[in-house]
Amino acid sequence: MMKCLLRKSVYFGSTLVVMFFLCSGVTFSQGLDKEISMEENIPTEEGLTVKYIASDLNGADLALGQAEPYTVNLQMQDLSFPNGGGSVLEVAIRGFHNGETIFFGIKWSDASKNDRAIAHAQFRDAVGLMFPLETVKVISPEKPFSPRMGDRGKAVNIWHWKADWEKELHVAGGKEHMEDEYPNMFTDFDFSPDPIHFHKEAFDSADLMAGGIAAGSLLSLPRGRSVEDLNAVGFGTLTSQENQDVNGKGSWNNGKWDVVIYRPLSTSDENDVQFVPGMSTFFNMAVWNGKEGDRNGQKSVSIRWRPLKIETVK
């Protein structure tokens, strides 16, 4: 009976809650997101310096070896539903530019390589770099800028390297298919010695009957690159760009991912962050561990902006 009363009070309580909000003039927030803390609007003191080194992609590994590594500490994402992550504690980043292209070298430990997302509970490893879209000089509690996913009116540019995209760069046709995950998928009714031929109609209909392909999603189509160029203005707003101009390469060895992400310093796309030698801005990072089911907000994040300096051309 007590419990019964409890539920009924919820029923009446709702009216009171609504009245309270109407009277107090507070607007409802439909999100589940908590407010970010004061501390999160204070960038770290230390940051990354992107050195000027006259090298190119071929010499990138060597050049990155000469750059100072900077360690970004990561933690569980616990601000916006769904929470998660926290299995990767730190990521090391280095950077250099050659006056035309900016390179970031990123390394983190991950005992398992997860470079496919085809089966139901299969998730990819990934790493994300985030920059304020416009140049920002100061971030402070007085001049806040969410280090999470940006904010309304404070857009961010995100570069998202994906382990499965990296792998797909090197497979025929530029994309993996169902049969790569399920090599025996046809054997139940394999009347034909050539199953691909036997199932040709189903194969050919995929383009017609796939919402993702019809919608032109980069996730569904061969995209010829391993990094996605995105924008966001807060949680749940992540949007892929029309113009994709970030590239990357990565490899997994002995429990470590080693990824290089690069892009021309400046582009003609207004949705891209622009880098000018000599300038300072901020950056932030997140890592996804596919083995742990990480995806979207379930990720290991850094919760503070980090200063980013671009050395002048020497």
Partner 1 sequence: MTLVHNWHLGRTMEYPYFESRPEHQFAAVFNINRCIACQTCTMAHKSTWTYSKGQEYMWWNNVETKPYGGYPQHWDHKILQLLWDNGNNPMEWYTSAEDKDETKAPYGLYNGDTIFELAKTKGLNQVAVGYIPDDKEWRFPNIYEDTAASEKTNYETGPAAESSELPEHKRWFFYLQRICNHCTYPACLAACPRKAIYKRKEDGIVLIDQKRCRGYRKCVEQCPYKKPMYRGETRMSEKCIGCYPRVEGKDPITKGRRMEARCMAACVGKIRLNGLLTGDYKKPDPKNPMDWLIHIHKVALPLYPQFGTEPNIYYIPPRWAPRSYLRQMFGPGVDEALDKYAAPSRTLMAVLQLFRTTQTMLSKFEIEDGEKIYESEIMGKKVEVYNDTVIGFASDGTEMVRVKVEEPTWESDEKRMITY
Question: Which region, judged by CB under 8 A, interacts with partner 1, from 107-115, 190-198, 249-257, 293-301?
Answer: 293-301
Answer yes or no: are the C-beta atoms of 240 and 229 closer than 8 Å: yes
Looking at the Cβ atoms of 120 and 152, the one nearer to partner 1 is 120
Residue from 54, 62, 119, 196 binding partner 1 (CB under 8 A): 119
Residue from 62, 171, 178, 196 binding partner 1 (CB under 8 A): 178
Instruction: Classify burial at 185, counting beta carbons within 10 Å of its beta carbon; exposed 0-12, middle 13-18, buried 19 or more.
Output: middle
Question: Which region, judged by CB under 8 A, interacts with partner 1, from 28-36, 106-114, 128-136, 275-283?
Answer: 28-36
In angstroms, the Cα distances linking 213 to 70, 113, 208, 209, 313 are 39, 27, 8, 8, 43
Looking at the Cβ atoms of 209 and 313, the one nearer to partner 1 is 209
215 near partner 1, judged by CB under 8 A = yes
Scanning residues 251 to 290, which ones bind partner 1 (CB under 8 A)?
A: none
Instruction: Report residue 215 as tokens.
Output: 């919608």
Looking at the Cβ atoms of 142 and 191, the one nearer to partner 1 is 191
Long-range contacts of 268-271 (CB under 8 A, 24+ apart): 269/241, 269/243, 269/245, 271/133, 271/155, 271/157, 271/231, 271/241, 271/242, 271/243
Alpha carbon 36 to its chain centroid, in Å, reads 20
Looking at the Cβ atoms of 3 and 137, the one nearer to partner 1 is 3
CB of 47 to partner 1, least distance (A): 29
Q: Measured between alpha carbons, how far apart are the two ends of the chain, in Å?
A: 79
Question: Which region, judged by CB under 8 A, interacts with partner 1, from 79-87, 97-105, 249-257, 302-310?
Answer: 79-87
Residue from 38, 89, 111, 118 binding partner 1 (CB under 8 A): 118
214 near partner 1, judged by CB under 8 A = yes
Phi, psi of 303 (to 5 degrees): -100, 10
314 near partner 1, judged by CB under 8 A = no
Question: Which region, judged by CB under 8 A, interacts with partner 1, from 52-60, 211-219, 259-267, 273-281?
Answer: 211-219
Answer yes or no: are the C-beta atoms of 117 and 165 closer than 8 Å: no
Contacts of 296 (CB under 8 A, 6+ apart): 82
CB of 18 to partner 1, least distance (A): 8
Residue from 57, 59, 81, 144 binding partner 1 (CB under 8 A): 81
The pairing of strands 90-97 and 101-109 is antiparallel
Query: Which positions touch partner 1 (CB under 8 A)?
Result: 3-4, 6-8, 10-11, 13-14, 17-18, 28, 30-32, 78, 80-84, 117-122, 177-178, 181, 185, 202-203, 205-206, 208-217, 219-220, 235-236, 238, 295-297
